[in-house]
Amino acid sequence: MDFWLNLKKKVAVLLERDPRHLRLIAWRDRVTKVLLFLDNHFIRAISAVFLSLVLFGVLYFFAFRSPKPFPEQALITIERGESLSQIANSFEEKKGVRSGLWLKTFIFILGGEKRVIAGDYYFPDATNIFKVAKMIHNGEFGLIAQKITIPEGTSSIEIGKILEKELPTFNTKDFVAEVSDNNYEGYLFPDTYFLMPNTKASDLILMMRENFARQIKTYEEDVLKFQKPLNEVVTMASIIEDEANGTLESKRIVSGILWKRLRLEMPLQVDAPFQYYNGKNSYTLTKEDLAEDHKYNTYKNKGLPPTAITNPGIDSIRAAITPTKTNYLYFLSDKSGNMYYAKNFDEHKRNRELYLN
């Protein structure tokens, strides 16, 4: 208590110098009252502060801090017209907060359910209950566009798997079903997209198809001059995307070979459609697979498959409408992606022995 005694002495000295100073007298009276209160209630005050800190610590540990584990990339929706109790219970059920009761309390303090803003709230990281309540009250949805790249030559199933990892509520099944039902395979342009965490499958499909329409517009006259329907061009481009390596030159040579086979009424005899049908590639296909009768078996059936098998990039589309004329009728690529061409089947067999076996 030496501090309080020294403070009293200093006040007394100041008053002796100027006892008529009214402000100093008033200040002295206030300080004296505080000192008297502390003299009488010091232990109680310290105890109250200590207990308050302990109580807050307990509440924070059991109710206020973020749940463990916090749902990764949580997206929690508040529907329009939901009551405060429904909102609080929903957040607790989805592991957004530890206590729906305390969330309800804090929202009520901030203004009640009338101040709650409906919408999708995104929590990429663990968030404590105070920030959750503040976000709901202020309509801070936390939605930040994510940069996602869809590589050239990916099928709708592969696109769905990419997006399922990046977007918390993306429904791959709905995405693939809508693409299949409407024959959109091949028309989902591979590109870099900036997508919100709550992007729906139907919205993404529309976005990718609109991008395809913009990209193909430059080549509309070339497609007309080529005198093939756009769906055949896209289907051929999707095969070229998988069968040729990444250069435009090899794609155009493969394009010339495949269009020539169609003109000669030969089966296309390419492996890429099997990847789309049963997930197998050139190195995993068996004789039984090649003998199976289905529309994507280009060894059994003549002509193009019924749909595109991937979503090709613009170079593959360009290659499909500007094929290179050669004397080749066969091609293959080794595991390193090097391309080898042959004029007849004997040359092709020799290439297989040299570069694949």
pLDDT digits (tens, 9 = 90+) for 83-101: 877 888 887 777 777 777 7
Residue pLDDT, tens place only, 117-130: 788 878 777 777 77
Query: Band of the pLDDT at 252, cuts 50, 70, 90?
Result: very high
The pLDDT mean for the chain works out to 82
Helix 230-243 vs helix 314-321: crossing angle, to nearest 10: 110
Query: Band of the pLDDT at 61, cuts 50, 70, 90?
Result: very low
Average pLDDT over residues 10-24: 58
Q: Check for a shared fold between 74-138 and 146-216.
A: yes
For the whole model, what pTM was predicted?
Answer: 0.70
Query: Band of the pLDDT at 277, cuts 50, 70, 90?
Result: confident
The residues, ordered by sequence, that sit 6+ positions from 295 with a Cβ below 8 Å of its Cβ are 301, 305, 306
Average pLDDT over residues 106-115: 72
Query: Band of the pLDDT at 53, cuts 50, 70, 90?
Result: low
The pair of structure tokens assigned to 149 is 């790249």
Q: What pLDDT, on a 0 to 100 scale, did the predictor assign at position 36?
A: 64
Q: What is the spatial distance between Cα 187 and Cα 289, in angstroms, rounded to a whole number?
A: 28
Domain 74-138 has CATH 3.30.1490.480: yes
Q: What is the spatial distance between Cα 86 and Cα 88, in angstroms, rounded to a whole number?
A: 6
Residue 305, helix vs strand vs coil: coil
Q: Taking 70 as the threshold, does the pLDDT of residue 5 lie above it?
A: no
Q: Which CATH architecture has domain 146-216?
A: 2-Layer Sandwich (3.30)
Do the beta carbons of residue 29 and residue 15 sit within 8 Å?
no
Per domain, the residue ranges of the chain are 2-64, 74-138, 146-216, 219-355
The pair of structure tokens assigned to 289 is 């697979």
